Structure 1
Amino acid sequence: MVSSAEPLFERDPEAWHAHLAEGNATQARKRVSADALIRDRAGRVLLVDPRYKPGWDTPGGMAEANEPPDAAVRREIREELGLTIHVGPVLVVDWVSPHGPWDDLLAFVFDGGEIGAEQMLEVRFRDDEISAYEFCTPEQAGERLRPHIWRRLVAALEALESRRARYLRDGLAP
């Protein structure tokens, strides 16, 4: 049956807006993190040692409400290390299942490019979140990173080499 009635969005724009707002209020929300794969000219990867959680990590952090992931990683690296980086293409999107007190999460890893020794001289810890940073070989990174972060980093390195982004679930290919 075909109705000749005008659609709600044309007939009553305010009711249509209220309908969309109700959907927005009841749909799932996702936490989002954004990290960068930053390398030196020798191909080593930049790791940071956060004070607020165990183990080393890749630089980046959590997106704020309504903040695009690429803007979040730029902001986090500027806030934590004082560096301004170019954010290249996304290398990995990793869906992280609920764990502990946390709901699920979408973790993005972007290509943060190569930076030279002269740019590393600009590093300034801008807040108390990071206690150290170091460029590491992949082998060294494997020893320092928690297993799920290590799997994500390996996938990012593979994506960089193949020029094909990877989708993961809990650090593993589905």
Structure 2
Amino acid sequence: MSSDIPLYERDPAAWRAHLAEGNRIQPRKRVSADVLFRDDGGRILLVDPQYKPAWDLPGGMVEANEPPLTAAIREVAEELGLEYAGGDLLVVDWVAPHEPWDDLLAFIFDGGVLSADQQRSIRLEDGELNAARFCTVPEARTLLRPYVSRRVDQALDAFATGRTHYLHDGCRS
């Protein structure tokens, strides 16, 4: 056998140690998972978080080792008291480092059209939100931070075209 073959290829314990070292030193990514809900008039559901300067989509941060869709389901239940079964992925947005934050991967999933009964059942459950309301797309653009507004526009386009979009700071490359 050739002596230039790395030891871990023949030694499972060494391979696991190599992977563990890589896991220890490689960067971690922040990940968010939001949901695009609509009403039968085409308006979109926005929430007003107490801890952010602007409105946002329902959803939030993914916990360690949690799949993004599971996080979206959990966040919608925690924030709005809605049962959300999950939906198609509309966009993945890589957000560049900004201010004190490292980069982020932001997922938006389709929440579909909420029935009148579902809309009436919305309850601000966990104390994180000041309000939730349906907005026209032009109104949403005035309430959202610019990069979130771009991301929402791309999510709406992904829904209309049936094609998931990969974005950089809310823009397709």
Report TM bin, short chain. over 0.9
Pairs within 5 Å for 1:156-171 = 156-171=155-170
Q: Following the alignment from structure 1 to structure 2, what is the Cα–Cα distance between the partners of residues 92 and 98?
A: 19
Q: CA deviation at 1:5?
A: 8.8
CA offset digits 1:56-115 (Å, max 9, x no partner): 111100000011000011101100111111321111111001111110000001111111
TM-score by length of 2: 0.94
Q: Following the alignment from structure 1 to structure 2, what is the Cα–Cα distance between the partners of residues 132 and 12?
A: 56
SS of the residue 1:17 aligns to: helix
Q: Following the alignment from structure 1 to structure 2, what is the Cα–Cα distance between the partners of residues 5 and 96?
A: 40
Among the aligned pairs, what percent are the same residue?
59
Native 8 Å contact 1:86 1:113 kept in 2:
no
Q: Following the alignment from structure 2 to structure 1, what is the Cα–Cα distance between the partners of residues 87 and 170?
A: 21
CA offset digits 1:115-146 (Å, max 9, x no partner): 11101222121111111111111111112111
CA offset digits 1:22-73 (Å, max 9, x no partner): 0111112100000011111111100001111111111100000011000011
Q: Quickly say closer, same or farther: Cα 1:49–1:16, change in 2 above 3 A.
A: same
1:80 aligns with 2:59: no
Residue matched to 1:118 = 117
TM-score by length of 1: 0.93
Q: Following the alignment from structure 2 to structure 1, what is the Cα–Cα distance between the partners of residues 31 and 84?
A: 20
Q: CA deviation at 1:7?
A: 7.0
Structure 2: unaligned runs, 5 residues or longer: none
Residue matched to 1:61 = 60
Q: How many residues align?
A: 173
Residue matched to 1:27 = 26
Q: Following the alignment from structure 1 to structure 2, what is the Cα–Cα distance between the partners of residues 8 and 117?
A: 62
Native 8 Å contact 1:34 1:73 kept in 2:
yes
Q: Following the alignment from structure 1 to structure 2, what is the Cα–Cα distance between the partners of residues 80 and 34?
A: 13
- Residue type at the aligned position of 1:44: R
Residue matched to 1:93 = 92
Structure 1 stretches of 4+ with a deviation exceeding 4 A read 4-10
Native 8 Å contact 1:87 1:113 kept in 2:
no
Q: Following the alignment from structure 2 to structure 1, what is the Cα–Cα distance between the partners of residues 66 and 113?
A: 25
Residue matched to 1:143 = 142
